[in-house]
Amino acid sequence: MEKKILIAESEVGVRQQFYDSLTHAGYKVVTTHHGKGALELFATQKPDLVLLDYTLSDESGIEVLRKIKERDKKTKVIMLASSSNPELEKEARLLGVSGFLPKSLEREVIVETIDRIMGKSVEERKILVVDDDPQICSLIKDFLTKKGFTVVVAYSGEEGLEKLKKERPILVLLDVRLPGMDGIMALKRIKEIDPRVGVIMVTGLKDEDTFNEAKKLGAHEYIVKPFDLDYLDTCVLVRLCLVSALLK
C-alpha cells in the first residue's frame, strides 16, 4: 500500500522541496501551511507520517503536535527545524515526537531519511553503544540488531575510544555517566578523532547544563532514560542518514 505523508510547513520553498522529493520517491503527499489545515488533513487523510513545522501561520507546531497526539498517540511526527532549539525540542519530546529533521536537506538525503523512518530500506550500518550498564547495552543491542544494524558495545569511555578506532562506527550512542572518563570527555575525544561521527547522548540525568555542553561539543541528540525504543529508533535513523551524507 502507498504510504501517505502530511507536510505542515509555513515556508513554501521548504514545503515544495519536501513535496517534490517525496512524491518522486513514490509517496503520496498532502501539504498545508497552517495548523487548522494540518488537523483537518490528519483527520481525513490518516497519514502514516507527519512532517511538522514549529511555526505555522495560525498556531505553533507544538500545539498542533499536542492535538495530533491526543487523537492518535501512535502516529509518527517529525518536527522540521531551521536551527536547534533545546527548549522547543524538550517540549516536543514530552509530547511524544518521533524525531527532528533540519529543513536544509538535499533531495537524496530527504528521501533516504524518510525511507528509513518508514521502514522501506535499512542498510547495514555499524553503531557503537557506550554504557556501563550491561542491561542497557543488551537492550539497545538486541533492539537495533533486530532492525538490521551491526552493534558494537563498550562499557567505559576508554573502551569506547578503542572500539571507535578499531570498528569505525558511523554512529555512537554514548552514556553521560561512565566510570573513569565520563561521557562528555569521551564525546570531546570522539569528535577530535573523527568529527564526522554522529553521537547521541543517552543519560538518566535531566541536566540542562550537560545538555548544552554536549550540544556545543557536537552531540546530535540527547535522550533521557527511560526512553521509548521507537523514539530511539527514529533518532538513530535520522542521524545515520545525515552522517551518511557527510561521509559521501
Residue 53: is its pLDDT beyond 60? yes
Are 134 and 242 within one domain? yes
pLDDT value of position 138: 94
* 175/242 same-domain check: yes
Burial class (CB in 10 A: 0-12, 13-18, 19+), 27: buried
Whether residues 110 and 212 fall in one domain: no
* Same structural domain, 83 and 165: no
pLDDT above 70: residue 153? yes
Q: Look at the chain and report how many structural domains it folds into.
A: 2
The radius of gyration of the chain's CA atoms, rounded to the nearest angstrom, is 18
CA distances from 116 to 61, 161, 209, 235 (A): 23, 28, 32, 11
Determine the pLDDT at residue 193.
87
Q: Which residues have C-beta within 8 Å of that of residue 75, sequence separation ≥ 6?
A: 42, 47, 48, 49, 50, 68, 69
For 9-13, 14-18, 120-124, 152-156, which range has the lowest pLDDT when averaged over its residues?
Answer: 120-124
130 and 242 both lie in a single domain:
yes
- Residue 190 — very low, low, confident or very high, per pLDDT cuts 50/70/90? very high
Do 111 and 152 lie in one domain? The reply is: no
Question: Which secondary structure element, helix H or strand E, spans residue 134, and what is its range?
Answer: helix 134-146
Q: Which of 64, 18, 14, 61 is nearest to 39 (CA)?
A: 64
Higher-confidence residue: 216 or 248?
216
Give residue 122's pLDDT band: very low, low, confident or very high (50, 70, 90): very low
DSSP letter at 133 equals -
CB atoms within 10 A of CB 192: 10
pLDDT at 226 over 90: no
Instruction: Give pLDDT, residue 43.
Output: 96
Percent of the chain topping pLDDT 90: 51
Give yes or no for residue 219 having a pLDDT over 70.
yes
- pTM (2 d.p.): 0.61
Backbone φ, ψ for residue 172 (5° rounding): -125, 130
Task: State the pLDDT at residue 158.
Answer: 96
**Domain end marker among 58, 88, 117:** 117
Rounded average pLDDT over 116-121: 71
What is the average pLDDT value for the chain, to the nearest integer?
A: 87
pLDDT for 55-84, tens place per residue?
Answer: 998 999 999 999 999 999 989 999 998 877
Q: Do residues 94 and 54 both lie within one domain? A: yes
CB 52 within 8 A of CB 61: yes
For residue 47, the domain's CATH number is: 3.40.50.2300
One domain, residues 130 and 100: no
State yes or no: cis peptide before 226, omega within 30 of 0: yes
Contacts of 50 (CB under 8 A, 6+ apart): 5, 6, 7, 8, 38, 42, 68, 75, 76, 77, 78
Q: What is the mean pLDDT of residues 117-145?
A: 84
> 131 near 123, Cβ under 8 Å?
no
Domain span holding position 93: 4-117
Determine the Cα–Cα distance for residues 248 and 229; give it in Å rounded to an integer: 28
Residues 109 and 168 reside in one and the same domain: no
As a whole number, mean pLDDT of residues 195-217 equals 86
Given a cut of 60, whether residue 15 has pLDDT beyond it is yes
Q: How confident is the model at residue 187 (pLDDT cuts 50, 70, 90)?
A: very high
